[in-house]
Amino acid sequence: MRKSSRVVVVLVLLAVVAFLQADGYAGGRGGIDREDIERFEKSFVPDPVTKAVMNAVTSNDVNKLALNRQMLNAHTNLFNHRIKTKGITNQKSSGRCWLFAGLNVLRPKVIKDLKLNDFEFSQNYLFFWDKMEKANTFLEGIIELRDRDPMDRELQILLKSPFPDGGYWFYVVELIDKYGVAPKSVMPETQNSENTRMMDRLISCKLRQDAAVLRRMSDKGADVKQLRTQKEEMLEEIYKVLVMNLGTPPTEFQWRFEDRDTVVSELRTYTPQSFYREIVNVDLREYVSLFNCPTRASGKLYQVRMTRNIHDREDMIFINTDNDRLKEYTLRSVLSDDPVWFVCDVGKENSYEDGIMSPGIYDCESLYGVDFRLTKEERILYWDSTPNHAMVFIGVDTLQGRPVKWLVENSWGTDRGDDGLWSMYDEWFDEYVYNVIIHRKYLPKEVVAILQTKPEVLPPWDPMYSIIR
């Protein structure tokens, strides 16, 4: 063979190898072949005990089989410090946990100040305005991104979820600041505030239709002023659909109450804003958002893009810190009878029937003989865990000054958990609690000072973005 021919052959072989490597074929095609299947079959030859477990697993709920009975038997629902609260709220089939938890933080103060047997805010009232603001924020986002390619990552995030139920603590802050609050009797729940799927689906469809119209107008030369004029007409339709589903939010109402001594107050007229000032009177901007996200630097301020519910307000901002500090500040607040709003991954190692959150409450490792463990950092990086549910800490059980377990007020009614309450063991806090909201009076000055620094801005595809969905 001539030297030139050998060179050609070598070059062809190198090209083939490069092609296979580029296509992910280096070392084989990467698929499952017959040899692999035979090896799998040989690797698992069940013994009699494993066969019995297989029979049980194929015929039963895995959670019931894996429930750790020793842990369940050792559990008690006793807490040596408990904030006085009344009643359990119920968000039903909606994604309003953040709103229920936010208002549940404020309920004990109203009940105590007015000496009431019970009290509940109208979640539906603030939910209405949250939905209206989210529709406006979505359409403003479409106007802002009008020149982007349809496959643009930020535009895709916007279009994927134009009208979510989900939210965050500062949604509560901004909504109350703008719209005030009302008692539940003034604007009670409706079928579609408690079951939001169809309403959300219809309005999401309408908003996507509106997005298409605005982008077509922009393509034909419409400027921002013209697009916003069109947007106002679009919002009128959204308002109409919301009123038909949720009712008309009050601008003024009359209210009186009966206290524990059966004394009835005078009938007074309020606006939602005056009701908040006179009856609640809490400065919510004094609360600080603290995260434990081990994928990010501790002691630093962060802000996540595209997380606001009201267009002309700020995106979500938080201080990242370590778990020990998170628990230290939470403990200070609870022991001072100030409830703490928090967000966790509620689906992990949680016995819904018993109201117990504890690592190992389901012993799936023993059931399957497989290791499923990940660190908190790995869960975040590989999307095994995200912050997805807001609740309230209303108590703690301590031993020698350290928390053993935390008392949690949920918003799922009384049929789940321990009559609507949960016991969260301290180890579960370490693994699955991501965010707490603490009044700045419980924080060291050096932590509060971080709020004055310039935040690092995170993109909306960061795992912490999922907190608002």
Tokens of 250: 């009050």
Which of 97, 136, 292, 344 is flagged as catalytic?
A: 97
β-sheet bridge partners, residue 344: 389, 433
Amino acid at 142: I
In terms of Cβ atoms closer than 10 Å to its own Cβ (0-12, 13-18, 19+), residue 198 is: exposed
Residue type, 277: R
Q: Which of 245, 292, 410, 435 is catalytic?
A: 410
* 123-144 vs 224-246: helix crossing angle, rounded to 10: 160
Smallest Cα–Cα separation from 443: which of 288, 264, 305, 317?
288
Instruction: Give the position of tokens 């209405």.
Output: 128
Joined tokens for residue 73: 């038997």
**Helix and strand totals (H; E) in the chain:** 18, 14
Distance CA 58, CA 279 (A): 56
Contact between 129 and 311 (Cβ < 8 Å): no
Per annotation, catalytic residue among 75, 104, 389, 435: 389
Q: Is 42 left (phi over 0), alpha (psi -120 to 50) or beta?
A: alpha
Query: For residue 249, which amino acid is it?
Result: P
Q: Which residue has the tokens 């219809």?
A: 202
Region for 446 from its dihedrals, namely left if φ exceeds 0, alpha if ψ lies in -120 to 50, beta otherwise: alpha
Structural Rg of the chain based on CA atoms = 27
Active-site residue, 389 included: yes
**CA 239, 245, 247: angle at the middle one, nearest 5?**
75
Contact status, residue 125 vs residue 249, Cβ threshold 8 Å: yes
Return the exposure string of 151-188: e unless at least 16 CB atoms fall within 10 Å of the residue's CB, then b: eeebbebbbeebbbbbbbbbbbbbbbeebbbbbbebbe
Residue among 399, 388, 410, 407 at smallest CA distance from 330? 407
For the annotated catalytic residues, the residue numbers are: 97, 389, 410
